[in-house]
Amino acid sequence: MADNGRDLAKQRVSRRRFMIMTINGVGAGTALLIAAPIVGSVLSPVFAKRKTPWVLVADISRVAVGAPTAYVVNLPTDEGWPVPPVPRTVYVVKLNLNGKVQMITLSNVCSHMQCDVHWDLNLQQFFCPCHGGLYSIEGVNIGGPPPWPLFRYEHKLVGTTLYVRNVLTGTGA
Amino acid sequence: MSSQPQRSDLVAKLTRPVARPLAATYRWVDERMGISDLTHQLLYEAVPRRGAWAYSLGSATLIIIVLQIVTGMFLLWTYVPSTTEAWESLNYIEHYDEFAAIVRGMHLWGAYVLLVIIGLHMIRTFVSGSYKKPRELNWIVGVILFLLVLGLGITGAMLPWDQAAYWTAQVVTHVVDYVPLLGNWLQDILRGGPQMGPETLTRFFAIHIWLLPALLVPLVGLHLILLRRHGEHGSWVNYEGVESETEEARAERMADAEYPYPAIPSDPGYAVPVDIGDFFPSQVFKDSLVSFALVLLVFIMAVVVGAPLERAANPAALNYVPTPEWFFLPLDQLLIQFPQAWMIPVGVFVLPGIGTTLLILVPFLDRSPEREPWRRPEVMVPALFAVLFLIFEALLAVNRLFNL
Q: What is the pLDDT of residues B338-395, one digit of tens each?
A: 998 889 999 999 999 999 999 999 999 999 999 999 999 999 999 999 999 999 999 9
Asked whether residue A5 falls in the same domain as residue A64, the answer is no
* Structural domain count, chain A: 2
A80 vs B316: CB contact, 8 Å cut-off?
no
**Tens-place pLDDT, residues B11-67:** 888 889 999 999 999 999 999 999 999 999 999 999 999 999 999 999 999 999 999
Percent of chain B with pLDDT over 70: 98
In chain A, the residue whose alpha carbon lies closest to the alpha carbon of B347 is A145
Asked whether residue A40 falls in the same domain as residue A92, the answer is no
Which residues are A156's β-sheet partners? A163
Looking at the partner chain, which of B189, B317, B340 has a beta carbon nearest the beta carbon of A45?
B189
**Tens-place pLDDT, residues B318-347:** 989 989 999 999 999 999 999 988 899 999
**Tens-place pLDDT, residues A98-145:** 889 999 999 999 999 999 999 999 999 999 999 999 999 999 999 999
Which residues are A88's β-sheet partners? A73
Chain B residues touching residue A43 (CB < 8 angstroms): 185, 189
Q: Are B200 and B174 in contact (CB under 8 A)?
A: no
CATH, residue A165:
2.102.10.10
pLDDT at A49: 86
Instruction: Report cis status (omega within 30 of 0) of the bond before B198.
Output: no
Asked whether residue A68 falls in the same domain as residue A139, the answer is yes
Asked whether residue A90 falls in the same domain as residue A153, the answer is yes
CA separation for the pair A102, B388 (Å, rounded): 52
Work out the angle between the directed axes of helices B98-127 and B136-158 (0-180°, nearest 10): 150
Asked whether residue A73 falls in the same domain as residue A128, the answer is yes
Q: How many CB atoms lie within 10 A of CB A68?
A: 21
Burial class of B234 by CB neighbour count within 10 A (0 to 12, 13 to 18, 19+): buried
Distance from the Cα of A2 to chain B's closest Cα (Å) equals: 48
A118 vs B316: CB contact, 8 Å cut-off?
no
CA dihedral A58, A61, A63, A66 (to 10 degrees): 130
Asked whether residue A7 falls in the same domain as residue A33, the answer is yes
Per-position pLDDT tens, chain A of length 173? 455 555 666 666 789 999 999 999 999 999 999 999 999 999 999 998 888 899 999 999 999 999 999 999 999 987 888 899 999 999 999 999 888 999 999 999 999 999 999 999 999 999 999 999 999 999 999 999 999 999 999 999 999 999 999 999 998 77
Which residues are B266's β-sheet partners? none
Q: What is the mean pLDDT of chain B?
A: 94
In chain B, the residue whose alpha carbon lies closest to the alpha carbon of A111 is B174
Averaged pLDDT for residues B135-144: 98
pLDDT of residue B2 exceeding 70, the answer is no
Looking at the partner chain, which of B185, B199, B319 has a beta carbon nearest the beta carbon of A80?
B199
Q: Are A135 and A126 in contact (CB under 8 A)?
A: yes
Domain boundary residue, one of A30, A48, A66: A48
In chain B, the residue whose alpha carbon lies closest to the alpha carbon of A73 is B316
Q: How many CB atoms lie within 10 A of CB A106?
A: 26
Cα distance from N-terminal residue to C-terminal residue, chain A: 77
Asked whether residue A103 falls in the same domain as residue A86, the answer is yes
pLDDT at B10: 87
Q: How many CB atoms lie within 10 A of CB B187?
A: 22
The contact set of A with B (CB < 8 A) is 42-43, 45-46, 48, 50, 70, 72, 77-81, 83-84, 86-89, 108-109, 112-118, 129-132, 144-148, 166, 168, 172-173
pLDDT at B1: 45
Asked whether residue A90 falls in the same domain as residue A158, the answer is yes
CA separation for the pair B134, B66 (Å, rounded): 28
Instruction: Kindly provide the ipTM of the predicted complex, given to two decimals.
Output: 0.89
Averaged pLDDT for residues B6-12: 80
List the domain range (segments joined by +) for residue A24.
1-48
pLDDT at A4: 57
pLDDT at A6: 58
pLDDT at B93: 96
Question: Closest Cα to residue A110, out of A77, A78, A132, A88?
Answer: A132
The contact set of B with A (CB < 8 A) is 82-84, 167, 170-171, 174-175, 177, 185, 188-189, 191-195, 197-199, 202, 314-322, 332, 335-336, 338-341, 344, 400, 404
Question: Closest Cα to residue B88, out of B312, B315, B320?
Answer: B312
Distance from the Cα of B36 to chain A's closest Cα (Å) equals: 38
CA separation for the pair A61, B303 (Å, rounded): 54
Asked whether residue A83 falls in the same domain as residue A18, the answer is no
Asked whether residue A81 falls in the same domain as residue A6, the answer is no
Which residues are A161's β-sheet partners? A59, A158
B115 CB-side CA count, 13 A: 17
Confidence of residue B4 (pLDDT cuts 50, 70, 90): low
Domains in chain B, CATH or no CATH each: 46-326 (1.20.810.10)
A89 vs B336: CB contact, 8 Å cut-off?
no
| Torsion B198-B200-B205-B206 (CA) sign | positive
User: In whole angstroms, how far apart are CA B328 and each of A97, A133, B335, B397, B398?
Assistant: 43, 20, 11, 10, 11
B83 vs A83: CB contact, 8 Å cut-off?
yes
Backbone angle region of B258, left / alpha / beta, with phi > 0 → left and psi within -120 to 50 → alpha: beta
**Tens-place pLDDT, residues B221-262:** 999 999 999 999 999 999 999 999 999 999 999 999 999 999
